[in-house]
Amino acid sequence: MELVYGLAIPFLGTALGSAMVFFMKNKINKKVEKLLLGFASGVMIAASVWSLLIPSMDMAKEQSVIEWLPATVGFLLGILFLLLLDSLIPHLHLNSDKPEGLKAKLEKTTMMVLAVTLHNIPEGMAVGVVFAGAMF
Ligand SMILES: [Zn+2]
């Protein structure tokens, strides 16, 4: 049952967050859009610092490992992993007509969906790692 909650809560959060598109579609003020992008960035940075980096350093301290080493190595590997995915997966960023990743003849909508998927892979991994850590 814990597994169901562990999967359902992040799923609902993502679905509710992305449902905002139905309230703001085509009528969002550019300043509000910038503010919301900044807000989302703040939430993601806060979540990664307090829910991932600090617990990683606390766990390393408990295991008598150099406190900052696993978090730093994992952080850098995460950056490399996302850069690799960004260069491999064909996708299109918001407000851009220049596709990135491997060349592919895909619809613009498919390329946008792949861009969102690209960003959801690390989020899904973060949720999975935190959940797995809480189970043991
Ligand atoms: Zn990209």
- d(C-alpha 32, C-alpha 100), whole Å: 27
5 — pLDDT class (breaks 50, 70, 90): confident
Return residues with CB closer than 5 A to ligand 1 (ion). 86, 100
The mean of the pLDDT values for the chain is 87
d(CA 98, ligand 1 centre) in Å: 10
Residue 4 falls within a domain, yes or no?
A: no
Q: Token pair for residue 115?
A: 């861009």
Task: Give the domain extent around 100.
Answer: 30-128
Return the SS3 of 91. strand
pLDDT in tens, 104-116: 888 888 988 888 8
d(CA 120, ligand 1 centre) in Å: 13
Residue 21 falls within a domain, yes or no?
A: no
Residue 22 falls within a domain, yes or no?
A: no
Return the SS3 of 6. helix
Q: Is the pTM of this model over 0.95?
A: no
Structural domains of the chain, count:
1
Residue 24 falls within a domain, yes or no?
A: no
Residue 8 falls within a domain, yes or no?
A: no
Q: Token pair for residue 1?
A: 């049952």
pLDDT in tens, 57-93: 999 999 999 999 999 999 999 999 999 999 999 988 8
d(CA 101, ligand 1 centre) in Å: 7
